[in-house]
Structure 1
Amino acid sequence: MELENFKELWNKDTGLDQPEISLEKQRDIHSPIQMLKINMKTEFWLMLVTLPLLLISVPFASADSNIKTISAFVTVLTVGFITYFYSRFLKLYKLLQKNSINTNYDLFNLKTQLLISKEIYISYYISYIPLAFLLSLIKINFHFDIEYNLAIFGISFLITLLLVCFIIKYWIYYMYGRYIDDVISLVDELNGLEVKPKAEKKKTWFERSQKFFMNKMGVKGNILNTVIWFVSVYIFIILFLTFVLLIIIIIGAKLDFIDVVGLQRALDRVN
């Protein structure tokens, strides 16, 4: 092989040749990537704030030594899940920090990592379902035969399922999914693949408030918007479920289907 040909191939392999991606397209890609990085940082800090609240819910104060052992196991398992997920989270963040998306290889690698990370992200939240199942069992001391324990178990577990469904359907999409879709569409377009045109959708309240805060405060506005919605939705879900449960209890008491005194005793045992 001639020396010049070898040098040309070497330059291509090492990325020293001229960029394959136009600067305009690079800017288009960097925009959603920047939003991904901002949202990742925001979620990381939210996780640090909410993690203690999650661990507090584990019943270490139980008089039953078996419950304490299982609680410790659940805690270790939860911390293990979180550690693994956020190690991948950090790896993706470092990848997004790199500005070199000059070649098709960079784009392909970026697309692959984003798709993998999205699936890991979904799996991470799904993994809380069996943990919630176990915590719900711990809450009733594994006794379904005691009055109203089955209902308490079912409601506790149902709340977790609803939260996970909400996170997968809305949180993941607005925090990451739509930006990942933008990047993937651009990558596919640059590689000559058919890209389906996006259907025009009416902007949601989240998107409107995000635009408003970002126009006023820039990046900090996006973080503020995310925090406000995170706290607001959490409070709304709790209040909504509390309201629904109260309605069910009131109707059940009126129809003599629920014994309020017995239910109160069951709740006192759980607490």
Structure 2
Amino acid sequence: MNIDELKNIWDNDTAENTPEVSLEQRKSLNLPLEKIRKNMRWEFWSTIILLAFVLVAIWGIEMPFRFRLYLDILVGSMTLVTLFFYHKFFKLYKEISNPELETLASLQDLLHQFHLNKQYYLSFYISFVPFIVAEMIIILESIPYTHQYSNLHLVCVFLGAVFAGLVFLWILGKFWFNYYYGKYIKKVEDLVKELRN
């Protein structure tokens, strides 16, 4: 068997296993993809506004220098982490803004990108665990009456606050992703299943 015969077999095998996406199916994809793009834009701009609000609050409220320094470093670090994940987020946004969805393989690739983005989302929320811990340390060290707590009381308050913050973050992240992206990704998954059958 020579190389040309192998290429023909490969091309025929790929063509048979990669059904084309019909025009009607592409049209049905436009709505969920547009909703995802719209939600991505909204999330980006709301994050920018939230960051601006936090910075104004930090600099607009009178507080001791040490406390402000810690908050500035914490917010700056959170901003760097957020920028990293938004860079990944923006790559997906560009990819779904101009999708070439003509075959099952291209749809599967898009679905893979969505699942990868879901992992980025999870990683984004997990990356905030140290920030929650740092925030609790800053808050507990800055409130004078917490210095009167017994060791056990301090441990209980600290661990309780961190645990409550993490549970809230987990619930918020899960709800946020499912509400803004999950239901639209499900429509893409349904189309992929339909094309596989």
TM-score range (shorter-chain normalised) is: 0.7 to 0.9
- State whether structure 2 residue 49 is matched by structure 1 residue 49: yes
Question: What code does the residue aligned with 1:38 have?
Answer: K
RMSD of aligned Cα (Å):
3.5
What is the alpha-carbon distance in structure 1 between the residues aligned to residue 52 and residue 141 of structure 2?
23
Alignment of 1:1-271 (within 5 A): 20-55=20-55, 56=57, 61-64=63-66, 70-141=70-141, 145-147=147-149, 150=154, 153=158, 156-158=161-163, 160-192=165-197
Task: String of CA shifts for 1:57-84, please: whole Å, max 9, x gaps.
Answer: 69994344xx666545423321121111
What is the alpha-carbon distance in structure 2 between the residues aligned to residue 62 and residue 115 of structure 1?
44
Does the CA contact (< 8 Å) of 1:26 and 1:101 recur in 2?
yes
Consecutive unaligned residues of structure 2, counting only runs of 5 or more, are: none
Task: String of CA shifts for 1:67-109, please: whole Å, max 9, x gaps.
Answer: 6665454233211211111111111110110131002221121
Does the CA contact (< 8 Å) of 1:111 and 1:184 recur in 2?
yes
Q: 1:57 to 1:172 in 2, by over 3 A?
A: farther
Larger helix share, 1 or 2: 2
Does the CA contact (< 8 Å) of 2:141 and 2:147 recur in 1?
no
Q: Please, what TM-score do these two structures have when normalized by structure 2?
A: 0.74
Shift of 1:118: 0.9
Percent identity reads 26
Does the CA contact (< 8 Å) of 2:85 and 2:124 recur in 1?
yes
Q: 1:98 to 1:159 in 2, by over 3 A?
A: same
- DSSP-derived class of the 2:148 partner: coil
Matched pairs, number: 181
Q: 1:20 to 1:133 in 2, by over 3 A?
A: same
Q: Please, what TM-score do these two structures have when normalized by structure 1?
A: 0.56
Question: What code does the residue aligned with 2:20 have?
Answer: E
Q: Which moved more, 1:144-153 or 1:113-122?
A: 144-153
Q: 1:34 to 1:92 in 2, by over 3 A?
A: same
What is the alpha-carbon distance in structure 1 between the residues aligned to residue 106 and residue 117 of structure 2?
16
Consecutive unaligned residues of structure 1, counting only runs of 5 or more, are: 14-18, 193-271
Q: 1:68 to 1:50 in 2, by over 3 A?
A: closer
What is the alpha-carbon distance in structure 1 between the residues aligned to residue 99 and residue 177 of structure 2?
24
Question: What code does the residue aligned with 2:148 have?
Answer: I
Does the CA contact (< 8 Å) of 1:140 and 1:152 recur in 2?
no
Does the CA contact (< 8 Å) of 1:60 and 1:72 recur in 2?
no
Does the CA contact (< 8 Å) of 1:29 and 1:183 recur in 2?
yes
What is the alpha-carbon distance in structure 2 between the residues aligned to residue 25 and residue 168 of structure 1?
30
Q: 1:70 to 1:63 in 2, by over 3 A?
A: closer
Shift of 1:190: 1.0
